Structure 1
Amino acid sequence: MNQNNKVKHPKGLTFLFLSEMWERFGYYLMIGIFTLYLKDVKAGFAMTEAEAADLYGTFIALVFLTPFLGGLIADRYFGYTKSIIIGGLMMGVGYCMMAIHSLPILYLSMTLVIIGNGFFKPNISTLLGNIYSTPEYEDKKDEGYNIFYMGINVGAFICNFFGAALYILLGWGYAFLAAGIGMFLGVGIFLYGMKHYRAFDVKKGMQQGDMSFLKIVMVILFPAVIAGVIGWVVPTQVLGHALIGSPSTDAFIFACIPVIYFYGSLLAKADKSEKRPIAALLTIFAVVILFWAVFKQNGSALNTWADRYTDRHVENPMAAKIFSGLSLSQQLTMAKDSVPLYDEAFRLQKADGKVLQEYNYPTYFKNVAPEKRLAEGTQIEVWATNISQSINPGWVILLTPLIVAFFTWLRKRNQEPTTATKIAFGLLISALSVLVMIGAVYSGGNGAEKVSVFWLMASYGVITIGELFLSPMGLSLVSKLSPVRITSLMMGGWFLATSIGNKLSGVLATLWDTYENKANFFWINFFLLLFSALVAFMLLKWLNGIMREKGIK
């Protein structure tokens, strides 16, 4: 054991770490500015809050749905390295195409990112596990994954500063191009280090008990596509409007029905030894959907909070110099007909909800406290909205070592909670993070005045603890409880739950403008998470019993 501790990590880790860091750099840079770009009246698509949130929710839902298929294709046909390269190039092209201001091109580029992520995301993690599969490195696998996970969050943390500088100084297109360049850098680094992991790119092929790819397409994908088309077309044709929210939401809900039915049939057809573990996993999948529904509002509702309700004014002269390249110089002007900017209606809309015209864009000054209002012609420095997207990965970098040390301490005392218990507490802690945002609403008089960024930082800090209790534990639980013959399908179930939660996050965010009292919006999120946590705690005895039967914690 002492000898193993002296062994360094495999050389391939460095290249996979950097490849993943640059891939996440591109993805989170794009996500950080996505809804801001869609809502931009001058240089974007002038979408309303609801339209932008709906498209964002659909996008991130599909991004998390394709890794299941990408992993299966790599396992059986392409191999991991080829899949990673294909996926990375598709994403890089997709990000660059977003620089073209055209709605059809935007949809095409989103499609490339969705498919590309399916090939890249699951397979680089699998390849990392493979290079640690030799006896020499086996004891360092967990540590290797921790280092790799830090790469994800380093990329997610730094990208928003680059994105802010580029879209402020040069425009949205250059920020999207930077995301693409980051992705291409990741692919280049991966290719450069190929000699260190080429030998570990071993296709598994079809295993005994596996569903064939054709059967997966015919039994799961084809019915889902047909149901999705029905959901998009039928409610609007029959009712004259979407059944729930928008045609895209209807399509997604309908498409999930045959997939959920399929997973239910796995439980119904399972033999006695497999039935309880599968039931436990499906229960966990259902419970965590609401976590993702709230957590993934970081790019929609919480981005809006940072943009409109957070005091982003940089008053300290030294700090203003630091932010000068990242800030947006906004000039206080007089509105139409000499009406002061503070009193002007900021967004004028058509009857159908489409933006007709917006005066005095952007809207930063709309809710400045009376005592902080500035004289006409005053210029101020404010930090860019998308920088708030770096708060969560920043907390992950800071808190991960503490959480790991905490559970290590409990393990030594034989008091470490079970995986299912960690997930339940993760849901409860996440619910508490929403209470912080409710406090922020009351602190600012329901948007009458801007509030400190520390409210947002505190909320992200609390939900990050919930994330670290829940997200890695979910993946661990799938690997522990899944019957060997359907492990990949059950991992796909975890991604399906994440995907549904992501879409639901967009649905919830579309309701932002319908709540005059923003506290009520956050109260809804709080009660959803609290309900999910209560269900998890009620099921703990049953879940822990199943885990004991399997001889796992």
Structure 2
Amino acid sequence: MDFSLGLIIFGWVFCLIWIPLVIKANSKMHPRALFVCFFAEMWERFSYYGMRALLTLYMVKVVFQQITSGEADVKSLAIYGTYTASIYLGPIIGGMMADKFLGFRKSILLGGVLISLGHIVLAAQGLIAETNEFFFFVALSFIVVGTGYFKPNISSFLGKFYEQDDPRKDPAYNIFYMGINVGAFLSALTCGYLGESVGWHWGFGLAGIGMFLGLYVFWRNLKYFGEKGLVPDVKYDTQSVFAGLSLNKVIITLSFIAVPLWAILFSYDNVFKVGLTGITVAVLGYLIYLSSKYENGSRLLVVLILFIFHAMFWALFEQAGGTLTLITDRFVDRTIGGSEIPASQFQALNALFIIIFAPVFAWLWMKLNKLKAEPSTPLKFVYSLVLLALGFLIIVLGAKSAMASGEKIIIWAIIFMYLFHTLGELCLSPVGLSMITKLSPSHIVGFTMGAWFLSYSVGNKMATEIGKLISVGELKENASMAEQISPYVDVYLQWGVYVVLGCAVVLLGLVPLLKKLMKGIH
């Protein structure tokens, strides 16, 4: 049997056993809403990561097949960066809309519908218009606008079921984060295999089915949420404000209109970068203003400072969907048992390790908390940066060994790199989500969560610029293996190891100040 198909079967069987065990072990400790959000987010992330696993390879090999490989790499990485940055930019607006007008429930459902439409368009392109750029950009834009409503609000909505400094909150977000990565794991294996081995539109289409399932899970369980997540004021659903439409219907209409407008933006990378910079400065400035307005507002300054280090983490971590996918495709020995594993399936490693280790970290934080030895949130961020740097050091050493031997990089280098990156992620990402619900005043938690997702956006766009350092220029056709790998080694060593470790040292020095600004929140 094809080893790649064996991986898919293993993945689904593993999750069908593992997920019920985790839920059973935690069902008495946590509210039902955790597990509803777990499954809804799992299927939404199935759709996102299923498409993400294929996106760079699809652009390089299909959408931009008519241009030279070096130019295709640069253009594909730029669009990939704009797309992933946009995915985390939209939550600022989506979070504000949920806080003020739509409520969490309606925002999550609206987001799911838009994402589903995006996958339908993307799957259709694979059948009728593979090289049509604007068609492709419209599909991405549906997903971008939809994720802006779905992503921040399901994270914030979960926080409503726990008290501000509830010791169950960090473990709850670790379990929730495991759900995210179950979706990522299964989709990278399944959609990646279908896209590369059967047909691109099959991979994209299956990703869309995942989002439909997420929508259904959330809609079917609305009755278990009590009064949480409803529209803040019923007048936003009932009072006419324009052409007989209520304010919330106007917002929904404008959301659909935003799709083609955002699609145009994909063709103007420099405009997007300037806009992202301006938005980031404005949002961080507004956080500073809010910190002076609220009691214990200094907690928002902690969000602002950690924003910077969070963005740097993702700038390197998100090489996974760009340059790390390309280096895996071109320079890693992926042959096992006589069959070659598709490069896109390696993105499942990160998710697999999170599925395994997220419950371990949830238990660890609870155990350390009882012993009054749990690291503070800023210190957990320091650990994450160190682990990220160690991961890049492993791939650099593996690449240097390949350069010396003239052979491809051994598969274990990429596996252990993903392991250390995953352990770093578990010290940072679920902890960060939990932190926002603790440090933010209750009635601006949607906006603050959106601002936090902006750091993902900045990090993803920074990832593009770092990736371009590798892809600039066209190597000679007869370039040796060492000459082809060398640009990756140089950039990963400088940015992935030296710069990241430098950030860890700076943050370690800031830990005492940040703990003081958190005003009793651990």
CA contact (8 A) 1:50 1:511 kept: no
Instruction: Name which of structure 1's ranges 419-428 and 500-509 shifts more when overlaid on structure 2.
Output: 419-428
CA contact (8 A) 1:38 1:45 kept: no
In structure 2, relative to structure 1, the CA distance for the partners of 1:454 and 1:270 (3 Å cut) is: closer
Aligned to 1:546: 517
Aligned to 1:442: 400
Within the candidate set 178, 183, 186, 1:150 is matched to 178
Instruction: Name which of structure 1's ranges 179-188 and 274-283 shifts more when overlaid on structure 2.
Output: 274-283
Aligned to 1:476: 434
Q: Which has the higher contact order (CA 8 A, sep 6+)?
A: 2
Identity of aligned residues (%): 33
Instruction: Name which of structure 1's ranges 423-432 and 111-120 shifts more when overlaid on structure 2.
Output: 423-432
Superposed CA offset, 1:473-502 (max 9, x none)? 223333333455654443333212211011
In structure 2, relative to structure 1, the CA distance for the partners of 1:105 and 1:41 (3 Å cut) is: closer
CA contact (8 A) 1:444 1:450 kept: yes
Q: Secondary structure at the match of 1:450?
A: coil
| Structure with bigger gyration radius | 1
Q: Do residues 313 (structure 1) and 313 (structure 2) align?
A: no
Within the candidate set 415, 422, 428, 1:457 is matched to 415
In structure 2, relative to structure 1, the CA distance for the partners of 1:537 and 1:447 (3 Å cut) is: farther
Q: Secondary structure at the match of 1:538?
A: helix
Aligned to 1:164: 192
CA contact (8 A) 1:309 1:447 kept: no
Aligned to 1:220: none
Matching residue's letter, 1:287:
F
CA contact (8 A) 1:446 1:519 kept: no
Within the candidate set 70, 79, 88, 1:64 is matched to 88
Q: Secondary structure at the match of 2:232?
A: coil
Aligned to 1:413: 371
Within the candidate set 104, 108, 114, 1:90 is matched to 114
Aligned to 2:99: 75
Pairing of 1:193-208 with structure 2 (within 5 A): 193-197=221-225, 199-204=227-232
Aligned equivalents of 2:73, 2:501: Cα separation in 1? 26
- Report the number of matched residues: 447
Aligned to 1:530: 501
CA contact (8 A) 1:64 1:118 kept: yes
CA contact (8 A) 1:81 1:198 kept: no
Q: Do residues 508 (structure 1) and 479 (structure 2) align?
A: no
Aligned to 1:184: 212
Aligned equivalents of 2:307, 2:375: Cα separation in 1? 19
Aligned equivalents of 2:427, 2:278: Cα separation in 1? 29
Superposed CA offset, 1:325-370 (max 9, x none)? xxxxxxxxxxxxxxxxxxxxxxxxxxxxxxxxxxxxxxxxxxxxxx
Aligned to 1:248: 269
TM-score using structure 2 length: 0.77
Aligned to 2:138: 108
TM-superposed deviation, 1:88: 1.0
CA contact (8 A) 1:39 1:48 kept: yes
Q: Secondary structure at the match of 1:415?
A: coil
Aligned equivalents of 1:467, 1:248: Cα separation in 2? 28
Aligned to 2:39: 18
Aligned equivalents of 2:430, 2:512: Cα separation in 1? 21
Aligned equivalents of 2:457, 2:84: Cα separation in 1? 7
Aligned to 1:294: 316
Structure 2: unaligned runs, 5 residues or longer? 1-25, 235-246, 248-257, 474-482
Instruction: Name which of structure 1's ranges 143-152 and 493-502 shifts more when overlaid on structure 2.
Output: 143-152
Aligned to 2:301: 279
Q: Secondary structure at the match of 1:542?
A: helix
Task: Compare the two structures and name the one with the higher helix fraction.
Answer: 2
Q: Secondary structure at the match of 2:335?
A: coil
Matching residue's letter, 1:407:
W
Aligned to 1:385: 343
Superposed CA offset, 1:185-223 (max 9, x none)? 2222333333333643323359xxxxxxx9xxxxxxxxx
Superposed CA offset, 1:267-321 (max 9, x none)? 268549656434333221122221110011110011112101111112x3xxx5x
Superposed CA offset, 1:96-118 (max 9, x none)? 21130221111111110000011
CA contact (8 A) 2:91 2:454 kept: no
Pairing of 1:204-219 with structure 2 (within 5 A): 204=232
CA contact (8 A) 2:388 2:424 kept: yes
CA contact (8 A) 2:152 2:450 kept: no
Aligned equivalents of 2:490, 2:32: Cα separation in 1? 51
Aligned equivalents of 2:172, 2:436: Cα separation in 1? 20
CA contact (8 A) 2:390 2:420 kept: yes
Matching residue's letter, 1:301:
T
Aligned equivalents of 2:93, 2:278: Cα separation in 1? 18
In structure 2, relative to structure 1, the CA distance for the partners of 1:143 and 1:528 (3 Å cut) is: closer
